[in-house]
Amino acid sequence: MNLDRKKFLKVLGVTGLSLAVGKESTGAPNEAPVEFKGILYDSTRCAGCQTCETVCAEVNGLPVPTETIETGVIRNTDDQHRTVVNSFKTSKGDAFLKKQCMHCNEPACAAACLTQAMYKTKEGPVVWNGDKCMGCRYCMVSCPFDIPRFEYHSANPKIEKCNMCYARLGEGQKPACVENCPAEALMFGTRRELIREARKRIVENPDQYFDHIYGENEAGGTGYLYLSAVPFEELGLKPLQKESYPSLSKGFLYSVPSVFVLWPAILLGIREATKNNNSNIIENE
């Protein structure tokens, strides 16, 4: 009995261990782990020069924006503007905020996409594949930041949104907005480095910054991270839940297989149980 128990525990331990580490140990050990890349936007450094808007349009073949920034007038991203900079009246004077795709760690748009046209790359950017998209616009409904935009006036419409210059990243370059920002308000790097850098800035200049990194936990963590001098609500950013948005529909999706197994069995059972109610009446019709 004792021996058996010992043996049993041993087997249990080995099984548990291999279950716990099995995934890592079977993977290729030589491959360096890829970390999500992201961009840190420091609102206190942004001068509102709109260079990012201009280069973004040039790189992506969109019309170069001509509108200028006006405090209090909110411009929005649309099918011709993948990024916009707005100016807000805040408790510490006028401040700018750049808006574009946040490149969530667990993007709602990608979870919503029924063709996997929208997906999170292993490098970090969330990108759109026109060969798969059927234009249902469920990504637009699901995105908590209202980012994916649709070309309503085209017979072959595309979804427009920032893709962190995914093609440029492949060539070893930085995203166009980061590379051309004259005020160095944008910084490109792995998400881990960026959070460290953001913390450092807050610690070194506690008077200059509001003590919060927007995007560190919002919506389950985002690839774009924001620093600001004032609470983020003053810059038009709503407080969002800490859990990722796809987690909201997880419960429903997990219940689907059980319903598929249980329902037919239950229905058949009820049918058999009620069969004798009117056994003389014809059944199949």
Residues binding another protein (CB under 8 A): 74, 76, 78-79, 108, 110-117, 130-138, 140-142, 144, 146, 149-157, 238, 240-241, 245-246, 248-249, 251-253, 256, 259-260, 263-264, 267-268, 270-271, 274-275, 277-278, 281-285
HSE of 81 in the Cβ direction (CA atoms, 13 Å)?
18
Q: Which is nearer to another protein, 135 or 189 (CB)?
A: 135
Residue 35's Cβ-count burial label (10 Å; 0-12, 13-18, 19+) is middle
Q: Which is nearer to another protein, 49 or 62 (CB)?
A: 62
Q: Which is nearer to another protein, 28 or 155 (CB)?
A: 155
Q: Which is nearer to another protein, 15 or 76 (CB)?
A: 76
Q: Which is nearer to another protein, 167 or 267 (CB)?
A: 267
Q: How far is the CB of 115 from another protein (least distance, A)?
A: 4
Q: How far is the CB of 153 from another protein (least distance, A)?
A: 4
Q: How far is the CB of 268 from another protein (least distance, A)?
A: 6
Q: Which is nearer to another protein, 211 or 283 (CB)?
A: 283
User: How far, in Å, CA of 152 to CA of 158, rounded?
Assistant: 9
Size of the chain, expressed as the number of residues it contains: 285
Amino acid (1-letter code) at residue 63: P
Q: Which is nearer to another protein, 31 or 152 (CB)?
A: 152
Q: How far is the CB of 48 from another protein (least distance, A)?
A: 22
Q: How far is the CB of 122 from another protein (least distance, A)?
A: 17
Q: How far is the CB of 229 from another protein (least distance, A)?
A: 25
Q: How far is the CB of 109 from another protein (least distance, A)?
A: 9
Q: Which residues of 114-134 are buried (b: 16+ CB within 10 A; e: fewer)?
A: eeebbbbbebbbbbbeeeebe
For residue 189, list its beta bridge partners: 38
